[in-house]
Chain A
């Protein structure tokens, strides 16, 4: 029998103590940064936010806090032995700082649509039903059922009580998936953690608020992580050589096969046992079903990603796209009939209209005040930058003999969705979101093209510089709409007063949406004022009153007009009209015959259409 080696050589204790001291110092710096961050936020006056967004009011100490966290993270990342504890703590702190700051400087829940989503959850909580005739949300109600379930078990009255934490929680969950995806395909600590960092500073889209799409991105990334860990060819000992028989030209096929054979070449995945793979497949099907029940778009992203992976023989589970299609078809056929039977032209109308769809997604969104235009350009720059870094990563790895085919396929798979649907002008944003995780890993590989080699100084420097540049862009891109997205106590008090004053069935006119509908979802009918831009240009209160009289409910229910601070900010930022347009119209409305102010505070005014001049037209 051989003698057993000592597991801990004598030199280890000293090294261990030094390493522990370094970890302790790093964690102390993180704690210090968090203190500085909180002190910085106490100086922020969100009422002073300009059209440049939150960056316009953040003090220098806020940037100092972020700088310290970045220093700790990158110091750990580029150490001879990266420390996962330090990296995870510092990255968690960065997520909290980047995605949680608004919670500490704003007194009311953030972002308009959150209120509406809370209202849908409230409806389900109190009725225990879904009504697809009310809203498209009720044809994919899974997320709201989940929300109502959580509300009842926690005993909370409204999800607005914790909706502001959604971006922090969701981004932390996204990061777990990014780490797993990067690990499965590269097997390298630094690539995985740098990809996670890049994901965090590039997720400017803002779809991670309390929403079905934010939750579904997590499901999507979790499903992709399962597929790559359990069914990728790199983890399957039984996988054969790819043949790509569907490629018509032999030379192209041979070249493609050669490239695919270097895919995930650095990963060292231990094959999972059959029973674990079966269990993970079951979990995957559950995630697919849950996604189909809770969001209309994400299932198509699933199908696109799985189809691309199967087409290029990157996963052993060849029936996966069919499973995804079958689950989607089942949901649409049995639970979403109420929506698609009435909106078929909306759904398929954009199919193949690539130019029109792209136009709606890009040029159709470029409008507003000069400062807001700067923010919009920053967003385009951020998008191009992360795609460019990913592209350069692909090229640099190819030069090293590694084709990251799986990552590339996952990065490009969502793009055909743009040709299928404009999605209200938001499809490009969603495509960016679905592609962001693989793009971030590819971008990280740009700085570590040979994962088996030590880190080179210029690679590390380039990674830090580009990360900091992305961070600078993130602040403007992410929080550029902050002047519209925050709400004051006066605004929410005004909405609450409206709920008390207006009877059920009232018609509520608005220049743009207000943070209403967070409770009693069916209490009001909401309607935008027709020709509002023209009325704003001319300060034409009479035209507004005439429209209200013309559209007054036949039932005789009263009509109201709501004007809020955030609506004024929205007009200033997005409409292209001169600043203060809605202020001037508000003054004209106060003088207009036929309208009566029934509630007013600093940030809200509620007008009621006088009964004598209203009634059924």
Chain B
């Protein structure tokens, strides 16, 4: 699914959830109602939540989306039964509301928590994102950027170059990872993880902990682990302890892999330190 299409998914699911919740208050019986309600109850909350997780395992994401959705249904229903407040249509409204809020979180501009609270209360106008639309620059990263804390994890990225969600802002504080999804020139040097998104074109030398490339990296890279995803391209010399090149990923340059990572005594690390670039197939 293209990124434009996938960006519409939260809005579509929020709308579907609201339609299902409204129809729950009616006595209408129709296949359309059944279909909308089933999609809402089986998928909507979980799919929206999984968008925050951004797992690299589609099967797990899909399965978890259903499991989480049904669990949410059951928890809400269970609370109503055990509190003797059985009114499923109101439960559906609550669930649809939660789904809509989660979905909206995917579109909120980056804000500090206090600003976010004001925005939720409707007291603050939506302001221009700090990294505004149409300005594809890796703000704060040009020239020896050191662990910027406003970029999310590889698993939950909101790219530099367009507004970042409030949830992603929370992720930044925890993960302290650099995400670049725009064209930039200069140098990236950090002790954190670096992620180059599908729209990223980085003409720079990169140093980081774990570097994940979904776009293009033109420059030498030195890191603990390098993961070149499908369609990712690295042109430059690589110095890393661990290397994964997915099917469809490309590397062009020399590769140096030390015998063992000094700070990673796990069996897995020992196993992979001799691994040649291989394709991760699933």
Contacts and interface: CB of A to CB of B under 8 A. Distances in A.
Interface of A: 1-5, 7, 81-82, 124, 127-130, 141-143, 145-146, 148-150, 152-156, 173, 176-177, 179-180, 182-184, 187-190, 192, 215, 218-219, 221-222, 225-226, 229, 233-242, 260-265, 267-268, 270-276, 279-280, 283, 286-287, 289-290, 293-294, 335, 452
B227 to A, nearest CB: 6
A5 B235 contact: yes
B153 A275 contact: yes
A229 B57 CA distance: 9
Contact of A184 (B57, B171, B270): B57
A239 B267 contact: yes
A339 B268 CA distance: 47
Nearest to A128: B86
A464 B81 CA distance: 50
Interface string B234-258: 0110000000100100101000000
Contacts of B3: none
B68 A283 contact: yes
7 contacts: A5-B252, A7-B231, A128-B81, A218-B66, A219-B71, A242-B267, A272-B155
Interface residues of B, number: 87
Contacts, number: 231
Contact of B60 (A4, A176, A264, A294): A176
Contacts of B185: 1
B203 to A, nearest CB: 5
A153 B20 contact: yes
B24 A153 contact: yes
A155 B28 contact: yes
A149 B20 CA distance: 13
A176 B63 contact: yes
Given A239-B268, A270-B212, A155 B174 contact: no
Contact of A290 (B41, B71, B91, B219): B71
B167 to A, nearest CB: 10
A150 B201 CA distance: 47
Given A156-B34, A225-B63, A276-B55, A268 B272 contact: yes
Interface in B21-46: 23-24, 26-30, 33-34, 37-38, 40-41
Given A153-B41, A218-B67, A270-B212, A225 B60 contact: yes
Contact of B266 (A188, A219, A237): A237
B84 interface: yes
B175 interface: yes
Contact of A142 (B78, B171, B269): B78
A273 B88 contact: no
Given A146-B77, A155-B23, A188 B281 contact: yes
A265 B271 contact: yes
B134 interface: no
Contacts of B280: 187, 268
A290 B28 contact: no
Q: Which 8 pairs, one residue from A and one from B, show the smallest C-beta to C-beta distance?
A: A128-B86, A273-B153, A189-B281, A152-B88, A176-B63, A149-B77, A180-B60, A179-B59
Given A2-B218, A173-B63, A187-B280, A128 B267 contact: no
Contacts of B247: 81
